[in-house]
C-alpha cells in the first residue's frame, strides 16, 4: 500500500527511479546494517578482540535472507530504532552464544550513520552517472548550435541576439561544476562512524582505534578524525549539493517551458504519442517533463534546508534532529533521481526549431539590434547621444510599425556617417553575436 509518489505504482517512474528507490529501500538499508556488523566482526576477530570462532559465526548470519523483516518492524516500533532488532536477530541465529560478540563496542548511531554513508555512496554514483549523461547531451547541443542565432531575453523581453549553443554551454558549465563538487565532497562525506556511546570509544579498552581503522577500510570508507555523532555538516553538505543540482535542473526546465510556449516555439521536449496532451484540448503539447522537474527540485530544496536544521544537535547524542535526516535524505535523493532522469530525457531528445529562433529575432523588425546601432554610431557622435537618438527612432519604429533600418537611413544625422550598407551590417543579428562562439568553445574545451 504505497502512500507517496516515490513508492506509488502509478507515479514512481516519473518522480524517481528504480535504482535510487532500491538504494533507500528497507532491504538495502538493512543489508547495510548487516554489512557493517559483518565487517566489524571480521576486523575484531583479526585483532583478537573477539574469538575468531565468534567472528566466523557472526559473519555466516549477516545475510538479509536470514532476517525476519516483519519481526524487525515489530522490534523497531517497540525499541524506537532498528539496529538493536538486527543485532538481536543475529545473536539468536548464532550457536553456542557466540552471537553475544556481535556489535562489540559499537552503538546504534555508529551502525546507522555508517549505513547512511554507504547508501549515500551508492546514491551519489547514480547522480554522477546521470550528470555525465546530461553533460554529454548538452555538449552535443552546444557544439551543433554553436552559431545558431536566437534572441537573448532580459526580464522576459527581447534583448540582443545570442546563440542556442551559448545557452546550452552556460547550463553545461553548471553541470560540470556540479560534477566537480560531487568529486570534491566524496572524501568529506564518505567517512565511517565507529565511536561508541558518547564518541570516545571507551567501550573498547584495547584496539579501539585499530578497530575503527579496520572497519572503515573493510567498508571502503574514510576513517574519521573524531566522532561526528552530532556534527552533521557532512550530511548537510550532501543536501546542499542536491539543492544546487536541482537549481540548475530547474533553470533548464524553466527555459524549456518558456521556449515551448505557442508564441515562441523554439524548442520542444521529445515527442511521444499522447505525452503532455490535454484531456480537452487536442492541439496542446504540454512541457510535462519540465513540470515534473520543477515540482521535484522545489521539494528537494526544502529538504536541503531541513538537513541544515538537523545540524543543530544537542550535546554528544541528539534528541530529534538526527531523525530529520531519516525522513528527508531518502526522499531528497529519490526526487533528485526523478528530476535527473527527466532532464536527461529532455536534453537527449530536445527538438530545436532554428527557423522559429530566427523568426523571433526578426519579429521586431530590427529593434533588437538597437544596441549594435548605438555602439556603431557612438564612435561618430558619442555613445550617450547615440543612445538617445536611437531610442527616439525605436519609439517611432514601434509607432509606425516600420523596419528600424529604414528609419535609420532616413535620419540625416545618421546617414551623414553611415550609408545603408553599413547600417544593414549593424542591423544583421549574425554580426552581433559577440563572443558567444568563443565561450562555447571554452566550455567544450574544458570537458574531460
Q: Which of 285, 317, 402, 425 is catalytic?
A: 317
Give 420-428 contacts, CB < 8 A, sequence gap 24+.
Answer: 422/376, 423/373, 426/369, 426/372, 426/373, 426/376, 427/366, 427/369, 427/372, 427/373, 428/369
How many angstroms separate the CA atoms of 440 and 446, rounded? 10
Which distant-in-sequence residues (6+ apart) come within 8 Å of 445 by Cβ? none
Q: Among 188, 275, 278, 442, which one carries the catalytic annotation? A: 278
DSSP string, 285-319: ---HHHHHHHHHHHHHHHHHHHHHHTT---SSS-S
Catalytic site includes residue 3: no
Are 356 and 151 in contact, with CB atoms under 8 Å apart? no
Round to whole Å and give the CA distance between 259 and 257.
6
Cell representation of residue 235: 550530511
**317 is annotated as an active-site residue:** yes
* Residue 49 three-state SS: coil
Secondary structure class of 174 (helix, strand, coil): helix
- Strand residue runs (E) in 92-213: 149-154, 157-163
- Residues labelled as active-site residues: 278, 317
Amino acid at each position: 500500500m504505497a502512500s507517496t509518489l516515490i513508492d506509488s505504482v502509478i507515479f514512481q517512474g516519473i518522480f524517481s527511479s528504480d535504482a535510487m528507490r532500491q538504494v533507500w529501500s528497507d532491504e538495502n538499508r538493512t543489508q547495510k546494517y548487516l554489512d557493517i556488523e559483518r565487517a566489524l566482526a571480521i576486523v575484531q576477530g583479526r585483532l583478537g578482540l573477539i574469538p575468531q570462532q565468534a567472528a566466523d559465526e557472526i559473519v555466516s548470519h549477516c545475510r538479509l535472507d536470514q532476517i525476519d523483516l516483519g519481526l524487525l518492524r515489530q522490534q523497531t516500533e517497540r525499541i524506537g530504532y532498528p539496529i538493536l532488532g538486527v543485532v538481536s536477530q543475529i545473536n539468536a541465529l548464532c550457536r553456542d552464544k557466540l552471537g553475544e560478540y556481535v556489535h562489540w563496542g559499537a552503538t546504534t548511531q555508529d551502525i546507522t550513520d555508517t549505513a547512511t554513508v554507504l547508501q549515500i555512496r551508492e546514491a551519489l554514483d547514480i547522480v554522477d552517472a546521470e550528470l555525465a549523461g546530461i553533460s554529454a547531451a548538452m555538449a552535443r547541443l552546444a557544439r551543433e548550435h554553436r552559431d545558431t542565432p536566437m534572441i537573448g531575453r532580459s526580464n522576459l523581453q527581447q534583448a540582443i541576439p545570442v546563440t542556442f549553443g551559448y545557452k546550452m554551454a552556460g547550463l553545461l558549465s553548471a553541470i560540470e561544476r556540479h560534477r566537480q563538487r560531487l568529486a570534491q565532497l566524496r572524501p568529506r562525506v564518505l567517512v565511517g562512524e565507529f565511536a561508541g556511546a558518547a564518541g570516545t570509544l571507551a567501550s573498547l579498552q584495547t584496539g579501539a582505534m585499530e578497530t575503527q581503522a579496520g572497519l572503515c577500510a573493510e567498508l571502503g570508507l574514510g576513517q574519521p578524525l573524531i566522532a561526528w555523532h552530532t556534527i552533521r555538516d557532512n550530511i548537510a553538505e550532501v543536501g546542499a549539493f542536491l539543492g544546487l543540482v536541482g537549481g540548475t535542473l530547474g533553470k533548464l526546465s524553466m527555459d524549456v517551458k518558456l521556449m515551448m510556449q505557442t508564441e515562441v516555439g523554439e524548442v520542444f521536449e521529445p515527442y511521444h504519442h499522447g505525452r503532455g496532451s490535454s484531456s480537452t484540448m487536442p492541439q496542446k503539447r504540454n512541457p510535462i517533463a519540465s513540470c515534473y522537474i520543477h515540482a521535484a527540485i522545489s521539494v528537494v530544496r526544502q529538504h536541503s534546508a531541513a538537513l541544515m536544521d538537523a545540524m543543530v544537535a544537542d550535546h554528544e547524542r541528539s534528541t530529534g534532529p538526527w531523525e530529520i535526516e531519516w525522513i528527508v535524505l531518502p526522499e531528497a535523493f529519490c526526487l533528485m533521481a526523478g528530476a535527473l532522469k527527466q532532464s536527461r530525457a529532455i536534453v537527449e531528445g530536445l527538438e530545436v526549431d532554428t527557423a522559429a529562433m530566427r523568426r523571433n529575432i526578426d519579429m521586431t523588425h530590427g529593434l533588437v539590434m538597437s544596441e549594435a546601432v548605438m555602439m556603431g554610431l557612438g564612435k561618430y557622435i558619442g555613445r550617450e547621444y547615440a543612445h538617445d537618438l536611437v531610442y527616439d527612432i525605436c519609439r517611432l519604429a514601434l509607432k509606425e510599425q516600420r523596419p528600424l533600418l529604414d528609419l535609420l537611413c532616413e535620419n540625416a544625422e545618421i546617414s551623414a556617417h553611415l550609408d545603408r550598407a553599413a547600417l544593414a551590417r549593424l542591423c544583421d543579428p549574425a554580426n552581433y553575436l559577440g563572443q558567444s562562439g568563443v565561450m562555447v568553445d571554452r566550455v567544450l574545451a574544458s570537458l574531460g
